[in-house]
Amino acid sequence: MANAEAVRSPSLLRLAMEARAPFEFVASMAAAPWLANAPRGDGHPVIVYPGFMATDFSTRPMRRLLLWLGHDAHGWEQGRNVRPSAAVIDKAQERIIAMHRRSGRRVSLVGWSLGGLFARELAKRAPEAVRVVVSLGSPFSGPMNATRASRLFHRVNRGRPLAPIPQDRFGIAPPVPTTSMYSQSDGIVAWQISHQAAGALSESIRVPASHLGLGVNPWALYALADRLAQPEGQWQPFARVGKPRAWYPKVQHPAAATADGSA
């Protein structure tokens, strides 16, 4: 877990750099032929959870690509993501279990920012029904005030905590294959608190993206497709070997960076 005293929210400069998100969407359109040749899925169900204050509309480009690549992709279908209340988490868990029983396949969970906290927690609650977890820019391994959204979150939720998820559980990886994607130029979430220590079933992938562009960034989308395409029970860490994998930046450990997230 990142050192709580050393990690601060992203600088104003990095926050301003979030304005590049629309250009990342344009880049994904230009990269469509490349993305169309990303590793294909086997038809298993995938649920995508949006970030804080976002809806399924925000994850539509991601889900469209996954559908094109052969996945049975779904939105979370609970409206705007404001807070993981007990009722919201319970409903999401019931849906995963029902989808698992109906399809006979384990369900992969993808979460963007706050949505990644949902995905990780749900995988801990129902590991028998979950195949893979992928989070994008999710603040799970450090203080919540190391994000530019923390004040808005507390204002919207009137000081209510992230119940029913104890904060000291955030950094514990689920007992299923788990990938965290992060960007060192993230202007909303300090990248150090999105870093997942490497383990037998856990890894981090660094991508050149803004926080608001993670769901449409071509590098993030290709890596997501690669992770979801692995056969069930045959998970291997993302290896930077061969094109285009070798083009991905090297993963950096938080201890090797300065407090404001710069290398």
DSSP symbols for 82-97: ----HHHHHHHHHHHH
Residue whose pair of structure tokens reads 């285009």 in the numeric block: 244
Q: Report the number of distinct structural domains present in the chain.
A: 1
Render pLDDT for 106-146 as a digit per residue (tens, 0 to 9): 999 999 999 999 999 999 999 999 999 999 999 998 787 88
Residue 45 lies in a domain: yes
Nearest to 83 by CA among 134, 156, 146: 156
Report the CATH number at residue 176: 3.40.50.1820
Residue 109 lies in a domain: yes
Residue 5 lies in a domain: no
Q: What is the pLDDT of residue 257?
A: 60
Residue 249 lies in a domain: yes
| φ/ψ of residue 132, rounded to 5 | -150, 150
Q: What is the Cα–Cα distance from 75 to 257, expressed in whole angstroms?
A: 35
Render pLDDT for 85-111 as a digit per residue (tens, 0 to 9): 888 999 999 999 999 999 999 999 999
The partner residues of 205 in beta bridges, in order of sequence, read 181
Nearest to 214 by CA among 83, 120, 142, 115: 115
Residue 59 lies in a domain: yes
Q: What is the pLDDT of residue 258?
A: 47
Q: What is the pLDDT of residue 157?
A: 64
Where does the pLDDT of residue 160 fall: very low under 50, low under 70, confident under 90, or very high at 90 and above? low
Nearest to 189 by CA among 231, 147, 229, 154: 147
Render pLDDT for 161-219 as a digit per residue (tens, 0 to 9): 655 566 667 789 999 999 999 999 999 999 999 999 999 999 999 999 999 999 999 99
Q: Say whether pLDDT at 259 is over 60.
A: no
Render pLDDT for 212-249 as a digit per residue (tens, 0 to 9): 999 999 999 999 999 999 999 999 999 988 888 899 99
What value does the mean pLDDT take over residues 152-166?
A: 65
The packing angle between helices 86-103 and 114-125, to 10°, is: 60
Nearest to 94 by CA among 122, 117, 118, 75: 122
Residue 3 lies in a domain: no
Q: What is the pLDDT of residue 85?
A: 82
What value does the mean pLDDT take over residues 54-77?
A: 97
Peptide bond into 164 cis (omega under 30): yes
Residue 118 lies in a domain: yes
Residue 261 lies in a domain: no
What pTM, to 2 d.p., does this model score? 0.92
Domain that holds residue 216: 12-256
Q: What is the pLDDT of residue 261?
A: 45
